[in-house]
Structure 1
Amino acid sequence: MSQFNIAFTAPHKTATEAGMFILRQGGTATEAMVAAAATISVVYPHMNSIGGDSFWLIDNLGADAPIAIDACGAAAADLAQYQSVKAIADRGGRSAITQAGTISGWHAALQADNNAKLPLATVLKPAIDVAKQGFEVTQSLQMAAEKLFATEGRNQAFKDLYEPNDRPLRQGEHFTNPTLARVFEHLAEHGLMAFYSGELAASFARDLAAAGSSITIEDIAATQAQVVTPLKASLDGVDCYNLPAPTQGVHSLAILAIIDRLKSRAISDIDWMHLVVEATKQSFNLRPQIWGDPNAVTELYEQVLQAPVIDQLAQNISMSKAEPWPFNAAPGDTVWLAARDKNGQMVSFIQSIYWEFGSGVVMRDGGFVWNNRGVSFSLDPRAVNSLQPHKKPAHTLNPAFARYHDGRRLAYGTMGGEGQPQTQAKVFTDYTWRGKSVVEAVASPRWLLGRTWGDSSTDLKVEQQLAEQLGFELDRLRHKWQPVPDNNEMMGHAGAILDTQTHLEAASDPRSDGQASVESAAEAQS
């Protein structure tokens, strides 16, 4: 067992403190994650909420594989209003198409954890306290609030909560959310699944209907997380895990498998960057066939992580020239967190509402926004990701986990929409094959391939420090690229926890408001 044996990392320090609060009491990593997930929904309301989705990988020592939980909300039963439209609305009630699965995922995770013993009131206490007592608005929250202030579709409850002075929230202001605190108190008393029934669900259904959403109380009641079989890619000396469809997990693993085939050809910094970028292109080219509801993807989905397909994708890559790339990346605001408890249980977890502040529709008796994940559906009935009743949308979320054959374990992930597989590949590659520490792997300059929010260009965005170092080489390889400021939030909020036989490390992204904490058993009990 590691000398230091509890750890937590999150993109907001208050969530890390909530997770550590539970771990110090002897709680499991799963219990700590529920505490932090609830807390971060309070302090980072633009990035996630209890009106969104989540996905879990829970790794127990000695288990054959991690437990994977899919808490993705499916589309409403009645979608008649979308039959005559040319596009799905970005905001407002008509963008609120799918159920809110995340709390059902919290419930499923605790049910799957035989060592979870703490009362729910204890687990939810940090979130209740911070919602009542308040917190300081971050720059990230201010920027998202300013963006929403300029959009249509926000309901009056949103304006009352996030624009109390007829203006967006400002960095440094003190913000409280007593309504959300009352929701958590209700769940602490009646159980997490009380979110989907009774007075709360009825109130949510009324708010959604008033905003023009198709989601009914019956849709809310039918929300149910699923324990699923994780995807696995066996690489040189390490087994990598991720979530299956409808997530991007298959892309994240395919990128790593392609890099694994070609890593001997990568010598310099530009070689590694070029290889990761080109592997991303090869994987993303397959999206129309393999990214969507598990019941809708083509047969290629079952083959893409097998050697023949990976070998072919690797052969498509030239180490001397970049392939052209026109794809448009969808934006996504998300939170990724990880935990390690005293018994060695580790969790890689991700939670989101898709775009910043999701649909912009706040539940008046809930104090949170409903997601707009359904925006990712296609209105083309021939598409794999076509909008249909009860169908899950193509999902950007995908938490990652790796088991090394020498006993090391790595929980890692990031926010960032379709940038998630790219950043995961950069962090994993830097640590696993390039000899960097997990702190260096998370903090070092990064890039993002494709369009991001507020930008119509589809090129490679490169943080300034890396651009100054490799710009000439990027031109030589014919990459279409542009520099962006260092420590740029568009690159995602990455993090990692590394558990070895001798030590435990945790990293939080300097691009976030986060914190990574590691403590020994003796420290935790003192």
Structure 2
Amino acid sequence: MPETPVFSTAAVAAPHSLAAETGQTILAAGGNAVEAMVAMAATVAVVYPHMNGIGGDGFWLVREPKGRIHALDASGPAGSLATIKRYREKGYDALPARGPDAALTVAGAVSGWGLALELSKALGGQLPLDLLLGDAIRHARSGYPVSRSEEWFKTSEEAALYEVPGFAEAFLVEGKRAPEGTQRLTPRLADTLEQLAHAGLADFYRGDVGREIALDLERIGSPITRKDLENYRARVVEPLAVRLKHSTVYNLPPPSQGLATLLILGMVERLDGLRGETPERHHALIEAAKRAFSLRDRVVADPRNLAHDPASFLTPRALEREAALIDMKRAASFPLPRPIDGDTIWMGAIDRDGLAVSYIQSVFWAYGSGCMLPATGVLWHNRGTAFSLDPESRNRLEPGHRPLHSLNPAMAVFDDGRVLSFGAMGGETQPQFLSQIFSRYAEAGMGLADAVEAPRWLLDAKLRGHEAVLKVESHFDPGLIRGLSRLGHAIEEMDEAYSGRFGHAGMLVKHPRNGRVEAVHDPRSDGGALGL
């Protein structure tokens, strides 16, 4: 059984070891958890470019030591030229995933860093921006080794990605993915980060960096304008919450799919006799996920297009109604809609004072749109691909609107005072992975390391008849597989164990009695947990 690292006062967890080292350095320099997270976000944006970057989006949960929870939405809206008419006239039946037409929403992550640092300052944070971005600048300027995940990771429409102007020069070696350990330098990105450290993060939108980004986006034919960048600001929003038996779990409201994660946990708790690693408990989680995704796809969209208050689905009565529809004796058919892809990073931090952060940052699909902006070295995301070109859809493309978002960092506060920061990457699979690791820790009594390392399942978009295929890792318990098969699940056993296909998850918990922090990150990633 793996041992969970325990730290005396503070810890961080990240999917790349260099990002974790950055967070530890900032904590040791007297920084708080928010400052550590901004520094980690900058470093991981440089060294894990297939998963995230400063040309992407982010979502934050921040819990103050006294209990107040802040939710920050740093997702970008569609550009002012991004209309259904424009894409229909260009011959599209659906939004493209690669190339300039896929670079259609503003990148919000850097604005989110700025908003988080405003909160940090109000809580006593004092570290200068050049220190926070220092590691990221150094790695971009001097080089970093390509990670195992980046070499291995397979993504949709990879051939189209390679054809995007500028992508091959930035990321390929002799026409192929760079092998693990290849030293990569990104001097233009280093220059951009240095400018932000000097001029401030708003420069990304309203300064010299923003000007160069806008010019490059215009040159390649993106529907994002200079005015779109200038007008953008990350927002403080009200977090969603679900009350469970011994804890309250928090997540982000729409356009995030955080509602789905909370629905799964809320439904499963209302089903009796589901403790331990049993086929019945996993069946309940799977069936709750099906119901949660069905509701999510009807409800979650840009906040201006919502027909219902998302919190209304998390009341005890609403959750009991949904849970009662779960058949505990047979798997329900589940014709999945177009899946939400997503290649993302999640990171967590908790400091000595108990300030806790759960943060997620992404370029959506691996390498986003593939558009490398030459003046700044910024790789632009393709989050707008999640919009619909159906004018009747609640998730329809409209200038200034945000699409349904897969990103959903989570946090739980237990009645005994423990604070848990947790999350995972994986698009459609994020709520599935979050519900598995949380229930293993909170309900099955596993330690953090066991909960994160244990084999996972995922509902795949590939259908077998009218049933979704349930993919399971190769080291999944054969007894559980047989039990789930008897309940009607169409199971596909994967060849690999600890594969990135099954997410990069992490968990940190602060104990109130002794102030210690337990922290783990996924063996499926290139990272880990470090602390003080």
Q: What TM bracket, shorter-length normalisation?
A: over 0.9
State yes or no: 1:490 paired with 2:495.
Answer: no
1:172 alignment partner, one of 181, 186, 195:
181
Q: Which of the numbers 27, 42, 45 marks the counterpart of 1:23?
A: 27
Alignment of 1:412-431 (within 5 A): 412-431=422-441
Task: Out of 266-275 and 102-111, give the one that drifted further.
Answer: 266-275
Supply the AA of the counterpart residue of 2:447: S
Report the RMSD for the aligned CA atoms in angstroms: 2.0
AA aligned to 2:442 is: T
**Cα displacement (A) at 1:152:** 4.8
Q: What TM-score, normalized by structure 2, do the two folds share? A: 0.93
Q: Distance in 1 between matches of 2:304 and 2:374?
A: 35
Change (3 A) 1:376 1:102: same
What SS does structure 2 have at the residue aligned with 1:286?
Answer: helix
8 Å Cα contact 1:232/1:239 also seen in 2: yes
- Structure 1: distance between partners of 2:56 and 2:221: 18
Task: For residue 164 of structure 1, report the CA deviation from its aligned partner.
Answer: 5.4
User: What's the counterpart of residue 76 of structure 1?
Assistant: 79
Moved more, 168-177 or 373-382: 168-177
Q: CA deviation at 1:159?
A: 2.2
Q: How far has the Cα of 1:469 moved from its partner?
A: 3.4
The answer for the alignment partner of 2:250 in structure 1 is 241
Amino acid at match of 2:503: G
Q: Check whether the contact 1:144–1:357 (CA below 8 A) recurs between aligned residues.
A: no
C-alpha distance in 1, partners of 2:450/2:72? 30
* The one of 431, 452, 461 aligned to 1:451: 461
Q: Is 2:467 the partner of 1:464?
A: no
Aligned residue type for 1:350: I
For the residue of structure 1 that corresponds to 2:401, the secondary structure is: coil
Which residue pairs with 1:127 in the alignment?
136
SS class of match (2:449): helix
Amino acid at match of 2:360: I
Deviation at 1:243, TM superposition (A): 0.5
2:12 to 4, 8, 16: 8
User: How many residues get paired?
Assistant: 515
**Aligned: 1:286 with 2:295:** yes
User: What secondary structure, in the 3-state scheme, does the structure 1 residue paired with 2:373 have?
Assistant: coil
| Match among 374, 383, 387 for residue 377 of structure 1 | 387
Q: Indicate whether 1:89 and 2:96 are aligned.
A: yes
Q: Residues 272-326 of structure 1: CA distance to partner in whole angstroms, max 9, x if unpaired?
A: 1111101101111112321111111222634211122211110011221111112
Q: Percent identity?
A: 38
Q: 1:429 to 1:267 in 2, by over 3 A?
A: closer
Asked if structure 1 preserves the Cα contact closer than 8 Å seen for 2:241 and 2:250, the reply is yes
Change in CA separation of 1:217 and 1:238 when aligned onto 2, cut-off 3 Å:
same
How far residue 258 of structure 1 moved from its aligned partner, in angstroms, is 0.5
Deviation at 1:57, TM superposition (A): 0.6
- Cα distance in 2 for partners of 1:458, 1:160 equals 39
1:352-371 superposed matches below 5 A: 352-371=362-381
Runs of 4+ in 1 over 4 A off after TM superposition: 144-149, 265-268
Deviation at 1:468, TM superposition (A): 2.5
- Tell me how far 1:154 sits from its aligned partner: 4.3
Q: Distance in 1 between matches of 2:501 and 2:298?
A: 27
**Aligned partners of 2:253 and 2:310 also within 8 Å:** no
SS in 2 for 1:264: coil
CA-to-aligned-CA distance 1:468-511 (integer Å, 9 cap, x gap): 33221121100011011211211110001011123310011010
Change over 3 Å in CA distance of 1:263–1:117 after alignment to 2: farther
CA distance in 1, matches of 2:476, 2:55: 37
Task: Please say if 1:316 is aligned against 2:325.
Answer: yes
In structure 1, stretches of 5+ residues that fail to align are: 520-526
Counterparts of 1:418 and 1:95, CA distance in 2: 19
- Alpha-carbon separation, structure 2, partners of 1:218 and 1:145: 35
Shift of 1:153: 6.9
Structure 2: how far apart are the matches of 1:15 and 1:138?
12
Distance 1:476 1:147, change over 3 A: closer
Range that drifts further, 342-351 or 138-147: 138-147
| Structure 2 counterpart SS, 1:39 | helix
Aligned residue for 1:233, secondary structure, equals strand
Q: Which amino acid aligns with 2:455?
A: P
SS in 2 for 1:309: helix
Q: How far apart are 1:33 and its partner, in Å?
A: 0.4
Q: Which runs of 5+ in 2 are unaligned?
A: 1-5
Superposed counterparts of 1:165-204, under 5 Å: 165-204=174-213
The answer to whether residue 342 in structure 2 is matched with residue 332 in structure 1 is yes
Q: Deviations over 1:173-222 (max 9, x none)?
A: 11111111111110110001101123322221222222221001111111
How far is 1:149 from its partner?
A: 5.7
1:441 aligns to 2:446 (yes or no): no
Whether the 8 Å contact between 2:162 and 2:168 is mirrored in structure 1 is: no
157 and 268 in structure 1: CA distance in 2 versus 1, 3 angstrom threshold: closer
Distance 1:144 1:368 in 2: 20
